[in-house]
Chain A
Amino acid sequence: MTVATVPAPPAGTGKNPAPRSGRAARARRNLTSPWASVVALGIGLIWSVPTLGLFVTSFRARKDISQTGWWDALKPQNWGQFSLNNYQTVLSGGGTSDLSDYFINSVVMTLPAVVIPIFLALLAAYAFAWIPFRGSNILFVGLFALQVVPIQVAMVPLLRSYVDMGLNASFWVLWLSHAMFGLPLATFLLHNFMKDIPRSLVEAARVDGAGHVTIFFKVIAPLMVPAVASFAIFQFLWVWNDLLVALAFGGNTPDLAPITARLADMAGSLGDRWHVLSAGAFVAMIVPVAVFLALQRYFVRGLLAGSVKG
């Protein structure tokens, strides 16, 4: 996805200042050449084929899916194969609860799980970037090193702590778990972005008598919007699509389970209703796609801003 979208912004946004060095100019020329566009478009198209196939499949009957490929349905004489039956099955829910219950669970799980790590990581990143203290470098490396700890290792001990704290089987375990697992990357990403903010800007504010709190809210925070947005998308997609953490900590009950859990169950215990899965996938996909489209300009800007500056 990124491969296809990265070349786009230099071509699209005319606001970029004229490139100064020869290398940047060359890169710009190369990236905006018609050939590069053709290649990018081609890759984009190839990349979309499986999704298109899944989309077509989601409208087909079980028998047709198992007998012919999805491209078969595209022939005009086969257009009669298209039906909304799979979507009907998916939306009506199969078990004892509606799909909407799980949808709400997903929303309830995701929003705090995105907001909490961003809030904490912003504070931590500010401290690491602008408050000099002893051992800050070691602490920072240590924090980022936590990124390599696999979730699976932490699961049983973490679950035990939740049980001890009496938080088990509530949304808190999901919010806290996702926040914990997201924090190292969030801190790292936001810190790298934050330390690139010109020192003079912060010093000027300090000369004007601003303390850390004022600097954080008045100077840093507004500049951080693209970085925060790009991380928010990352975290949102990760949490929304998560199944492992939700099942391991929350459990598969209609009170807590997100839409991915419902999707995994949709095919039935023995997989005898596999044909509704493609339709279910598209229903579950609506929200992440909408979020990505709404925030994608921040996403690209935030990614680039962290890496190619200076």
Chain B
Amino acid sequence: MKRSISKGMAAGLGVALAVTMAACGKTEPNNNSSGGSGDVDCSVYSQYGDLKGKSISIYTTFVDAEGATYEESFKGFEQCTGADIKYEGSKSLTTDVLGRIEAGAVADIVAFPQPGLLQQAVATGKVLEAPAAVAKNVDTYWTTSWRDYGSVDGKLYASPLGASVKSLVWYSPQAFKDAGYAVPETWDDLLVLTDQITKDGDVKPWCVGIADGDATGWVATDWVEDMVLRSAGPAAYAQWVNHESPFNDPKIVESLEEMSKIVRNDAYVNAGIGNIQSIAATPWTDGGTPLLDGQCFLHRQASFYGGNYAQESATVAEDGDVWAFYLPSADPSIKPILGAGDFVAAFADRPEVVAFQTFLSSPDWANAKAKVTEGGWTTANNGLDKANLRSAVDQLAFELLSDPSAEFRFDGSDLMPAQVGSDAFWKQMTAYFAENKSEQAVADAIEAAWPKS
């Protein structure tokens, strides 16, 4: 350190070392496969042809263990066709992807987590229309509403990938059994049950948590959407999401008031955590935890929350520690389901990309993915064999998604403009809990934030 010569040499060495390592990193093939799958049946992959030496890049929002299951699900395709799938997962996809499209540095295939983002991407003119084989798969295996979410102006651009169901209420089957409660069939039953729980014991029934860093509030928007679907109905929901009726429409305000009966009732919330205000400060990942030690009875959260319970080493099953029931509607003959999903669109039409895109829209992929995923994933692809889903709640979600009497509706905040769907709506719902803001004031403020055009 004393002499500049040695320092210079050290720096030089550092650069040399760095350059060699970079070179190594680039040339080394990326095949540290976890758990080889030598017994792949290649016959299902023969239709995709020989893609030896070809590489396809895919960009998704799934990282870590979840991302690994995606890579794992591509293994069979890679082995049998000889193609190399370059997987990239990043949680910042929603903010990065438009810039990358603009710069021409986007992957061959991108899995968009929101139809709204897909529309923005299509508006750049760089997204290619879905090839015929993909369109055929989408028509065969998905309902028309799913096809619509992947389409812009009637043209199909993206095939659905995974899905999640949000209209679920988590509960403890054991606690229900001990207290003699039955799973409610209608919204009124649910209110009666809620009241019953408070009368029977010195506990509050519902636990809720909506905090999630800079995305705080999304859990509450799911609540609102579920309530609008139940109180105002699926038709009014569609108008509301597309802004054909204003956000502060009386029907929406009524739905909010219906929701307040539970989540803004001091006798009902926030079980095992605190008062109503605590809802805004409780991380959504902790919201359902009080259920495990009997401090809370009901927790409305999506199917993927099962992963959280699994992390707490609880068994998620009908006869296990926690289980979920469908959030009932006022009229049991209407069965609206709130959910979300991702959509894959392509930016290249090389034959190998088309083949891979076709594979992703096929039941072959859905089944391969189900087999390697421990839990927290499902799809609306009705070619999936339910038995391949390894977690019970994923099977439940899949049943709901493929129930012909159910009306699937996409998460509204994902369809609204970003200024509302991932800003005003979140913030106002946080104020709804934190500042006890009135339903009308919340709806008015969100309506005011809707972009004028």
Contacts and interface: CB of A to CB of B under 8 A. Distances in A.
B189 interface: no
A94 interface: yes
Given A111-B15, A221-B4, A269 B68 contact: no
B99 A95 contact: no
A147 interface: no
Interface residues of B, number: 50
Interface stretch (A48-56, A160-168, A285-293): A160-168
B14 A225 contact: no
Contact of A66 (B17, B67, B289): B289
Interface string B257-286: 000000000000000000000000001011
B18 interface: yes
A277 to B, nearest CB: 12
A162 B65 CA distance: 31
A269 B91 contact: yes
B453 interface: no
Interface string A250-279: 011111100001001111111111110000
A195 interface: no
Contacts of B33: 96
Contacts of B89: 252, 265, 269
Interface stretch (A6-14, A77-85, A102-110, A124-132): A102-110
A43 to B, nearest CB: 28
A108 B21 contact: yes
B123 to A, nearest CB: 16
Determine chain B's interface SS by DSSP, over half rule: helix
Contacts of B32: 96-97
Given A160-B102, A160-B105, 14 more contacts: A95-B67, A96-B68, A104-B25, A111-B18, A112-B14, A162-B103, A221-B4, A252-B92, A253-B87, A264-B91, A265-B67, A268-B63, A270-B304, A275-B311
Interface of B: 4, 7, 11, 14-15, 17-19, 21-22, 25-26, 30, 32-34, 61-68, 71, 86-92, 96, 99-100, 102-105, 212, 283, 285-286, 289, 304, 307-308, 311-312, 376
13 contacts: A94-B64, A96-B71, A104-B25, A108-B18, A112-B19, A157-B103, A160-B105, A252-B90, A264-B91, A265-B90, A269-B61, A269-B66, A272-B311
Interface of A: 62-63, 66, 94-97, 104-105, 107-108, 111-112, 115, 155-157, 159-160, 162-163, 168-171, 221-222, 225, 247-248, 251-256, 261, 264-275
